[in-house]
Amino acid sequence: MPRSSKKSTAKAETAVEKEIVAETTAETVVEAAPAEVKKPAAKKTAAKKPAAKKTAVESKVVIQANGSEATAEDLVNKAIAAADVKTVKKVDVYVRPEINKVYYVINGDVLGEFDLF
């Protein structure tokens, strides 16, 4: 027994119903159209905004060990003072709290170390 014929018939009936509804809707829309056709409003072009500046996030890094603490800013300032460099472009600081040492590299060529606490 072919069961697909019932499904095919149901699909065909649904398609016919959709066409009838579409035709009825189209006629209704045509009848309801106003006598004057309004001109669509002119589109406004949005002015391009300049790229928003990235705002700096306020942050604070504190290293605590053995009951003492030091901030990242303090360590950078100590590294610059210890290196005695006039022009500083870049400072890299490496903290080793287990041995109480701070290592630094300034401008890629000045190396040094000092005690953390």
The domain locations on the chain are 1-33, 68-115
Alpha carbons within 13 angstroms on the beta-carbon side of residue 115 total: 2
What is the pLDDT at residue 76? 95
Integer CA distances (angstroms), 55 to 51, 52, 113, in order? 12, 9, 33
Predicted TM-score of the model (pTM):
0.51
Spatial contact of 70 and 117, defined as CB atoms under 8 Å apart: yes
66 touches 117 (CB < 8 A): yes
Tokens (6 digits) for 1: 């027994």
Read off the pLDDT of residues 41-77 as tens digits, 9 standing for 90 and up: 666 666 666 776 778 889 999 999 889 999 999 999 9
